Amino acid sequence: MAATTETLAQVQEMADDKYKYGFVTDIDSENAPKGLSEDIVRFISAKKNEPEWLLEWRLKAYRHWLTMPEPNWAKVGFPAIDYQDSYYYSAPKAVGDGPQSLDEIDPELLATYEKLGIPLKEQEMLAGVAVDAVFDSVSVATTFKSKLEEVGVIFCPLTEALEKCPDLVKKYLGTVVPYTDNKHATLNSAVFTEGSFVYIPPGVRCPMELSTYFRINAKNTGQFERTLIIADKESYVSYLEGCTAPMRDENQLHAAVVELIALDDAEIKYSTVQNWYPGDENGKGGIYNFVTKRGACRGRNSKISWTQVETGSAITWKYPSCILQGDNSVGEFYSIAITNNRQQADTGTKMIHLGRNTSSKIISKGISAGHADQTYRGLVKMSPKADGARNFTQCDSLLIGDQCGAHTVPYIESKNKSAIVEHEATTSTISEDQLFYLRQRGIPVEAAVALVVNGFCREVLQQLPMEFAVEAQKLVGISLEGSVG
């Protein structure tokens, strides 16, 4: 990551008018020394009082990582990452030992969350969403713990889960995304610092939406959170994830891993609104969002549904996937990706059909504007055993302006004659007729663009939980500002 740094004041100034979430919180951070080595891996593990097996696992990952080349197949371009020029552990000092309740949290930090639109205090009082907020590398608060405990749902930072239910963590961690999976996931396995852990016991329908907000605050910091969600038999959970980061001139790496496991008749719905700092108009700064998200439908009749709204990050490299092992299991992927200015996104999904009568649905809406480049990349694989499996894919791209790109790269592999795969893709633009019609009715041009784009994305927006849908709809408009006229 480049080390060009400008004064805080300048950064702040820019933050005020363009990227709403671009503020920097002035908090003392406790950093591990810069760079990556076995010692850093041991340092992180020790900081978190981890069991020996986990340290060993981290070290295996680190050693394997050293042997792996950078993945180069995605349609994105960026200078080589200098992994030694980054911090791999950054904790807000005051909360280093972990807060016991919201009252112990640095007020400055809470103010940050309010700016982000997550008033934790209020949320604890009002019935609604349980939030785990991750600030740089440390989880600062998990609201609604008590209420969830009543029904036996475990929702806590991963570190805490290692103390609370080590067997569950050991049983499932790394079973969906093994530490050898890909360069970024392997790095995460070696140095992951925080993330959420969710366990829904058999037969329990989680009484509220669970939510995590991630924020990268510290400078030159990579964020490597790891989320593990297990839905036991006949359970249900809906999980929301939001992300923001301050505006900084250097690029910051975010290499997260999310693993979902659904057992028999269980369902997991995972929604993301990703609004990491995208860099400025000239492509300076912004987050490298290199994320591995994968769910395993292990049980019969299980279901995993991914919904994502990707508007941020300088570069997005992300393929939330489903491994459909259990018979009759269902995988879904609903995606809106918006790239503007110099943003690059290579995103999509993989649906791996292994069980009988498994089905999957992919709805992807990509919008590219400015000088941005966007690629949908998806794999649908029908294995010889996936009798009666089905996939439907609809992949639409909208281009706004003549300097951007939109690409569609689906891979369809079928080894089963009774499996049916249907893929459709279209590329178009907002027509002059549509814009004139809306403007004739009095709607200003930017609002008209946002309206058409929201209409284009409707199928996906409908999948989001209410409170997220509103936020996402606004983001769609904001992300495209300045793209027309």
* Interface residues toward another protein, by CB under 8 A: 73, 382, 384, 397, 399-429, 431-434, 436-445, 447-448, 451-452, 454-459
Look at the block and give the residue holding tokens 């995103």: 347
Q: Judge whether 262 and 295 are in contact, CB under 8 Å.
A: yes
**Closer residue to another protein (CB): 53 or 437:** 437
**Closer residue to another protein (CB): 258 or 457:** 457
**Closer residue to another protein (CB): 176 or 336:** 336
**Closer residue to another protein (CB): 274 or 397:** 397
Q: Report the sign of the C-alpha dihedral through residues 33, 38, 41, 42, in that order.
A: negative
Residue 237, helix vs strand vs coil:
strand
For the chain, the 3-state helix, strand and coil shares in percent, each to the nearest 5, are 25, 35, 40
Least Å distance, CB 449 to another protein, is 12
Least Å distance, CB 115 to another protein, is 26
**Closer residue to another protein (CB): 177 or 449:** 449
**Closer residue to another protein (CB): 85 or 446:** 446
End-to-end CA distance of the chain: 34
Least Å distance, CB 443 to another protein, is 5
Could you give phi then psi for residue 406, rounded to 5 degrees? -140, 125
**Closer residue to another protein (CB): 8 or 445:** 445
- The token pair at 182 is 């890909």
Which among 146, 333, 157 has a CA at the least distance from the CA of 228?
157
Least Å distance, CB 397 to another protein, is 7
Least Å distance, CB 177 to another protein, is 23
Which among 209, 340, 224 has a CA at the least distance from the CA of 281?
340
Which among 71, 97, 334, 61 has a CA at the least distance from the CA of 224?
61
Least Å distance, CB 158 to another protein, is 36
Least Å distance, CB 426 to another protein, is 4
Q: Judge whether 180 and 188 are in contact, CB under 8 Å.
A: no
